[in-house]
Structure 1
Amino acid sequence: MATHPAILGRFFEDYAVGDVYQHPLGRTLSEADNTWVTLLSMNTNQNHFNVHLAQQNPITSGQVIVNSGLTVAVVLGISVLDMSQNAISNLAFTDIKMRHPVYVGDTIYAESICTGLRRSESRPYAGIVSMITRGLNQDGDEVISWKRSVMVATRESGIGQNYFPAAKSGPLELPGTAPAGATNGASA
């Protein structure tokens, strides 16, 4: 039996230029998601929350359109597990392009390609990972894309590792496999 430590994502050494990461999670956007993010972020464009007004929008065929800030946040979040779970810092977002409208009920997926790698000159425990990320809807339409660079910890740094607490009651074991002489707390 083995214990698999609590480690998520990749470290700097795990990336290769040209590798594509199809991120495993998709996310269906609800009306509540769109309304909450729009109003919490103080976005007053009624095309995001007023059905009556949105019916006049020829670009969206009269539909309420999902707030692009929500689209960015969801695609970024979907990409974290593969591209920046062990990031120390975001360094740059550039060339954000909204390529297709996103509507309530759309399911968003994301994939990224590693476009560059280099060791940090000022921080020996990290490297710079550059990528292009794009979001796709359920029909395969590219809805958004951007270029991004993040500083990612190296495996040897220990950052993002060995944080799981040791249980005061000892390691988790299969029932009935307690060491000789140990009791399970029950009395005869």
Structure 2
Amino acid sequence: MNSGWRGRCYEDFTVGDVYQHALGRTINSTDNTWFTLLTMNSNSLHFDRHYAAQTEFKRPLVDSTFTLALVTGLSVADISQNAINLGWDAVRLPAPVYEGDTLYARSEILSKRESRSYPERGIVQVKTVGFNQNGVVVIEFQRTIMVYKRAYLPELPTPKPREPRQDG
């Protein structure tokens, strides 16, 4: 039985590869409000429409850390399904994100090397670009991840479905 897509392992990455991530995600006002409240971000620009209307943006901005988290998430299936994050670098926000925008992402493999501390893993550096429905780049960042090599990939649990009871 085929277990389905498990994500890339260290051996699957080649410097220069570019992945256009398949999924996009539309941001709604609940996403922005909840994330702003969960992170205790008290900047009125994210949740006070009256205040935001008086700024050059004329409407609430999506919390930039939500944008970072969302665009990172859009890349997981292709980049870090079998990895842990070691850090984000060079985060840039060249254009605002608004409620109602749909974000998409693509990533490029910048470098890879064997891990000196964990021989069962390798280190991969990736540049990810997030853009809206109009193709406007709204975020770009580099991310360093530690990725399992295929021979060391932990097994996923494989529960089996049970037949329904027939004693009714």
Q: Give the structure-1-normalised TM-score.
A: 0.83
Aligned to 2:158: 164
Residues 97, 145 of structure 1: 8 Å contact kept? yes
Aligned to 1:105: 100
Distance 1:163 1:40 in 2: 31
Distance 1:82 1:162 in 2: 17
Code of the aligned partner of 2:75? S
Alpha carbons of structure 1 residues 56 and 164: separation in structure 2 relative to 1, 3 Å? same
Using the aligned pairs only, state the percent identity.
45
SS at match of 1:131: strand
Aligned to 2:147: 152
Aligned to 2:134: 139
Alpha carbons of structure 1 residues 63 and 127: separation in structure 2 relative to 1, 3 Å? same
Per-residue deviation, residues 99-121 of structure 1 (Å, max 9, x unmatched): 10000000000110000011111
Distance 2:93 2:13 in 1: 27
Residue of structure 2 aligned with 1:42, choices 24, 40, 43? 40
SS at match of 2:124: strand
Residue of structure 2 aligned with 1:117, choices 112, 128, 131? 112
Count of aligned pairs: 165
Structure 2 segments unaligned to the other structure (5+ residues): none
Aligned to 1:175: none
Residues 6, 164 of structure 1: 8 Å contact kept? no
Residue of structure 2 aligned with 1:68, choices 57, 64, 70? 64
Q: Give the structure-2-normalised TM-score.
A: 0.93
Distance 1:76 1:122 in 2: 25
Alpha carbons of structure 1 residues 131 and 49: separation in structure 2 relative to 1, 3 Å? same
Per-residue deviation, residues 26-78 of structure 1 (Å, max 9, x unmatched): 000000000000011101111111111101111x1x11111101101100100
Q: Runs (4+) of structure 1 moved beyond 6 Å?
A: none
SS at match of 1:81: coil
Distance 1:54 1:169 in 2: 54
Code of the aligned partner of 1:127? G
Aligned to 1:96: 91
Bigger Rg, structure 1 or 2: 1
Alpha carbons of structure 1 residues 49 and 117: separation in structure 2 relative to 1, 3 Å? same
Residues 129, 149 of structure 1: 8 Å contact kept? yes
